[in-house]
Amino acid sequence: MSDMLDLLVIGSGACGLAGAIAAHDAGGTVAILEGRDRPGGNSALSTGSIPGAGSRYQREAGIEDSPDRMVDDLIRVAGHHDADDLTRMIAAECGPLCEWLIDDLGARMELITAYRHIGHSVERLHAPKSRRGQELVDDLLRFVSDRGIPIAIGNRAERLLVEDGRVTGAIVGGEPVCARKVLLATNGFAADPALVAEHCPEIADAAYFGAPGSTGDAVRWGQSLGAGLGNMGAYQGYAAVAYPQGQLLSWTTIEKGGVIVGKSGRRFGNEDLGYSGFAPHVMKQGAFAWAIYDARIHAIAEAEEEYAEMSAMGAVTWAVTLADLANGVGLDPDGLEAMIDAYNASAAGQGHDAFGRTAFAKAPLQPPFAAVKVKPGLFHTQGGLLVDDKAHVCKADGRIIPNLFAGGGAAVGISGLAGAKGYASGNGLITALVLGRKAGQVAIAEIQADL
């Protein structure tokens, strides 16, 4: 590392990698610190899905979309919150971001037209063909390597360097690393049980399935400088982690008409809430639940690499009759048969669903039937340091903390004020990538303007 970097990036998930690439390409000197033994963080564990409202790929596919429509979608899901201005900025920037990733950098991604996922009124998610965030991270790491940007793996920043209220770098291994600007890309606080219990108590008892580096460093460092916090009660949960495999059961199985049931064989909520919003409902009804769907839905989900692997690991139980399915996985046969009969009737338009579900896709379900045992989990928090539309970390009154930027889980998210129901698919990655890229661009532009 040079004696004085232009930008020091702390964290090597999508936010940090995008910020480093953007800063380098704007003419800056950059280095990345990663406290863990491998890069990627929560970005590598995601599906790699990025909303891109108004992208050229949508236009080519004949899909009408716009930033305004995306804002309306996000507000419908999350309501108004501490980061409304950020929601508007991210919606405006996400289409160009996808074009930058794919066209300019060469990321192996495509527009998804097979599904929309929760929170989106049109097909606007862009993702790797594998539907794995690790593929996106691998691409970003390749772009970083091609540029000669150094990444110091296993080097945890201990604290920020501050002089007269201005951030000037970080302490690593007891030694200073000096920089004109610093980007906090350390993710959130979901791996810190005390912070989760304080800010997200409803999910505090759930198993954590995210990256171990999400320990809340950015929150603590920012608070020590007087930074404001926003949307601290929001988080992304997942209602259906396959047990004991530990892999995500693709929510496509539910969106395409599947249901979630308890040990009684009966449903306990409206699955239209989505994989995050439905997680606390699973938490409340018991330690485990079961996803029930059919072979037609299985065939759709099997196109996703992680689902195919999970299926190959024996996670899916099959049966021609519901009674045999129930007996095979330990559910009440009478309860399951009665529930599916009622659900199928609603899906066929013969009365309203008991829980208010309106999206049935391929339901009524038909044999052969599939079941997967699942449990809920916490994946990442959606609250953090207040930032402005240029990714500057701000105090509660809006004043910026000089030289300090944040993005991704380190920054305030766009998933509402509290709970899991405000999370729309891609909210985590889009906050990481848009704010990371913005921070890199703005940091170098400010340095060049001062020269």
Please write the tens of the pLDDT for every residue from 265-274.
Answer: 999 999 999 9
Domain 5-191+382-450 fold = FAD/NAD(P)-binding domain (3.50.50)
CA distance 436 to 116: 25
Q: What is the pLDDT of residue 1?
A: 45
Q: What is the pLDDT of residue 115?
A: 83
Whether residue 308 is predicted with pLDDT greater than 80 in this model: the reply is yes
Query: Hey, what are 355's tokens?
Result: 């829980």
Whether residue 166 is predicted with pLDDT greater than 50 in this model: the reply is yes
Domain 236-377 fold = Flavocytochrome C3; Chain A, domain 1 (3.90.700)
Please write the tens of the pLDDT for every residue from 74-118.
Answer: 999 999 999 999 999 999 999 999 999 999 999 999 999 988 788
Q: Do 192 and 216 form a contact (C-beta atoms < 8 A)?
A: yes
**Amino acid at residue number 211:** A
Whether residue 451 is predicted with pLDDT greater than 90 in this model: the reply is no
Q: What is the pLDDT of residue 256?
A: 96
Whether residue 32 is predicted with pLDDT greater than 70 in this model: the reply is yes
121 contact partners, CB below 8 Å, separation of at least 6? 69, 72, 73
Query: Hey, what are 319's tokens?
Result: 């049966």
45 contact partners, CB below 8 Å, separation of at least 6? 133, 134, 209, 210, 211, 379
Q: What is the pLDDT of residue 96?
A: 98
β-pairing, 30-34 vs 392-394, is unpaired
Whether residue 200 is predicted with pLDDT greater than 50 in this model: the reply is yes
In 3D, which of 282, 308, 102, 275 has the Cα closest to residue 203? Answer: 282
**Amino acid at residue number 70:** M
Among residues of the chain, what percentage have pLDDT more than 70?
100
Q: What is the pLDDT of residue 361?
A: 96
Please write the tens of the pLDDT for every residue from 214-243.
Answer: 999 999 999 999 999 999 999 999 999 999
Domain segments of the chain as ranges: 5-191+382-450, 236-377
Q: Do 133 and 47 form a contact (C-beta atoms < 8 A)?
A: yes
Query: Mean pLDDT score of the chain, rounded to an integer?
Result: 96
Categorize the per-residue pLDDT at 3 as very low, low, confident or very high, splitting at 50, 70 and 90: confident
Please write the tens of the pLDDT for every residue from 392-440.
Answer: 999 999 999 999 999 999 999 999 999 999 999 999 999 999 999 999 9
**Amino acid at residue number 42:** N
Please write the tens of the pLDDT for every residue from 112-157.
Answer: 998 878 899 999 999 999 999 999 999 999 999 999 999 999 999 9
